[in-house]
A and B are shown apart, each in its own frame.
Chain A
Amino acid sequence: MHHLQIKPGEIGEFVIMPGDPNLCHLIAEHFENPQLVAQNREYVTYTGKYKGLTVSATSTGMGCPSAAIALEELIMSGAKYLIRLGTTGALQKNISLGDIIIPSSAVRLEGTSVEYIPIEFPAIADIDIIDDLVKATQEKNLKPHIGIIMSHDAFYKGSVFAEPDFLKKEQVWIDSNVLSVENESSALFIIGYLRKVKVGSILTAVANHLTREVIIDEEKINPLFHQMTDICLEAFTKKATTLF
């Protein structure tokens, strides 16, 4: 593949997609016999085994343009069940730092998906992946928030590090019960639906735009990534028996 530098057969049907390439190394620690398949630009790919399944982790880089490339090339290489794993900024008061969010769908406030299909088409996560993620999360005695998130392109226009009046622009989404903000899910959901593969997301709130709280410490964030990786891998095992 042009960007990922992988070939069909080098990845599993089940793929975890973090944004940050460094996270692939962390995720691969959970695989049996992890192999670094390729490393090019912001794209790192590992393949290994989990409870008998062939699983992979591929980073998408930040934002929908690079995430769309990663997803398209993963699908061309045989991926069928893909979960984005990432962090998110909460837009509701009842979401605490460290809470897990499983999106049902996403506001399409990014440019990439509009090149695929007109804006009135909904960006919806695969409902089987939502089911599997909800079950796997509840099995860890955690209660996920399930609902609409927002995906956007300009970090410094919509984050706790943005110009002070950023909340004014986000008020419309806060008022419309959008749970949180991140950068890739909407284009991934759209492309998944168009290409007829399963795509979903699991996110952890590491900031709250209303309270301005934020977690930056690696020591505090890394356990959250390990937790989400565990949930994704267990979600894979739930569908594996019935899907293919």
Chain B
Amino acid sequence: MELLQYHIKCRKNEVNQAVLLPGDIERANYIGTNFFRDSEKIIENREFHICNGRYEDKPVAVCSTGIGCMSAAVAIEELTNIGCKYFIRVRTCGSLSSQINPGDIIIATGAVRGDGASKEYIPIEYPAVADYRTVTALRNRAKKDSANYNLGIIRTHDAFYMESPFAFGDYKKRVAIWAEAGTLAIENESSTLFVIGSLKKVQVGAILVAAGNLITGEKGTKDELQKSIDKAITIASGTLVDLQKREEKRI
């Protein structure tokens, strides 16, 4: 465990134990700079950019994962190896529901395992479920911040150019089965993160912002989206604080 982790290039206790997981490198830097106090860049290697900092009165961190479950799995495995315990995915997604418009916030209870990485960990029958206490803490923070949110199952998949507005052919037909089942949105990392969380007994949740609606084709403006993303980052950071406080109370 004292070993230098192969991809994130960090050692035990070098990263604070409560971590936000965006996909985009730029967003990790944005969160570190604009939301954390005493922000300190720990490492920049490949798609993994890590910052430590403080939010409210607790230590927190942010680590970008890159796009997709393969690099996300590497990030959470190596962060867990060096002592991290609380993870919240924060990213944009494509809405699959006519009720969820661009800019709306989603808190995921679980994810459809349309990815490849989680299948290498455990058979497909195993549920990709968000940590119950993290979901509850996210809901409580959202309520405290008077933020509206949608709660439910999302879909994680690997091939962006099969299920997105930029996809080849009739992408709506491909996603129809999930939309009909009440799946709220599509994104690329949560299912593997949830599965690894359950296997390694670390707490993982996800808060997402709909960037567009895959069914209606509606897209949000850049300013509107940024406002919602900021709100989601605020809720997620506050949740990392609440989860750490709860743990202290238990001890």
Bound-state CA distance A104–B181 (Å) is 19
Indicate whether A243 reaches chain B with its CB closer than 8 angstroms.
no
Within 8 A of B (CB), among A164-179: 172, 176-178
A105 touches B127 (CB 8 A): yes
Bound-state CA distance A120–B111 (Å) is 8
B182 touches A107 (CB 8 A): no
Residues of A within 8 A of B177 (CB): 117-118
A148 touches B127 (CB 8 A): yes
Indicate whether A85 reaches chain B with its CB closer than 8 angstroms.
no
B199 touches A122 (CB 8 A): no
B126 touches A124 (CB 8 A): no
CB distance from A148 to the nearest CB of B (A): 6
Chain B's closest residue to A195 (CB) is: B182
Indicate whether A206 reaches chain B with its CB closer than 8 angstroms.
no
Chain A window 108-131, contacts with chain B (Cβ cutoff 8 Å), 1 for yes, 0 for no: 110000000111111110010011
CB distance from B80 to the nearest CB of A (A): 14
Residues of B within 8 A of A148 (CB): 126-127, 129, 198
B198 touches A131 (CB 8 A): no
The residue that A124 contacts in the complex, of B113, B129, B181, with Cβ under 8 A, is B129
A124 touches B198 (CB 8 A): no
Select the stretch in B27-35, B86-94, B117-125, B161-169 that faces chain A: B117-125
Chain B's closest residue to A149 (CB) is: B127
CB distance from A16 to the nearest CB of B (A): 22
Interface residues on B, range: 20 to 34
B132 touches A124 (CB 8 A): no
Chain A window 136-172, contacts with chain B (Cβ cutoff 8 Å), 1 for yes, 0 for no: 0000000000111000000000000000000000001
CB distance from A209 to the nearest CB of B (A): 18
Indicate whether B229 reaches chain A with its CB closer than 8 angstroms.
no
Q: How many residues of A contact B (CB 8 A)?
A: 27
Residues of B within 8 A of A127 (CB): 109, 132, 135-136, 151
The residue that A122 contacts in the complex, of B113, B122, B132, B151, with Cβ under 8 A, is B113
CB distance from B156 to the nearest CB of A (A): 9
Chain A's closest residue to B156 (CB) is: A120
Within 8 A of A (CB), among B134-149: 135-136
Indicate whether A193 reaches chain B with its CB closer than 8 angstroms.
yes
Residues of B within 8 A of A123 (CB): 127
A104 touches B129 (CB 8 A): yes
Chain B's closest residue to A178 (CB) is: B126
Bound-state CA distance A122–B124 (Å) is 9
B126 touches A194 (CB 8 A): no
Residues of B within 8 A of A107 (CB): 125-127
Residues of A within 8 A of B136 (CB): 127, 131
Chain A's closest residue to B136 (CB) is: A131
Indicate whether A196 reaches chain B with its CB closer than 8 angstroms.
yes
Chain B interfacial positions (CB closer than 8 Å to A): 109-114, 122-129, 132, 135-136, 151-153, 177, 181-183, 198-199, 201
Q: A120-B124, A124-B153, A127-B109 are in contact. List 4 more A-B contacts (CB 8 A).
A: A120-B114, A121-B153, A124-B109, A172-B123
Chain A interfacial positions (CB closer than 8 Å to B): 104-109, 117-124, 127, 130-131, 146-148, 172, 176-178, 193-194, 196
- Closest A-B pairs by Cβ, 6 of them: A122-B110, A122-B127, A105-B129, A105-B127, A120-B113, A124-B110
